Amino acid sequence: MNVTDVHVNRFPLDAEVVGIDDSGKGFRPAYVPDAIHNVQRRYRLDTRFGPVEVIQMTGIVARRLVSLVHLGEDHPKGDRLGMILLGSRVDLLLPVGFFRPAVKPGDHVWAGRSTVAVERS
């Protein structure tokens, strides 16, 4: 995400929050491979498709992750999950075989409006 983008992260599917874990250290640029070691927050979600993870990651400028949910809560697709102040990176890990990408690298997406993956028929 660019510093000028909206940094609210939303639920990709109807889900229950079954885990919120913090890890990593440091604030490398989010686009470099070594950024996988940056401070991050991993949301583990239980969905009708199986487990899904949303991972917020800090960057060189964006150093604050905000959670808007708690363990055990159920949320519909599109609800606010959290945000990253000043932008950085979000990874979405979906179960294999159930979805196909609806965007490609470099596409711009809008919080609460853009579909990033669609269910395979």
Euclidean distance between CA atoms 56 and 89, whole angstroms: 6
Whether 23 sits among the annotated catalytic residues: the reply is no
User: Mind spelling out the 3-state secondary structure of 10-45?
Assistant: ECCCCEEEEEEEEECCCCCCCCCHHHHHCCEEEEEE
Euclidean distance between CA atoms 41 and 23, whole angstroms: 7
Q: What angle do CA 42, 82, 6 make, to 5 degrees?
A: 120
Q: Which of 23, 67, 88, 114 is catalytic?
A: 88
Number of Cβ atoms within 10 Å of the Cβ of 54? 22
Strands 15-23 and 89-93: unpaired
> Which residue numbers are catalytic?
88
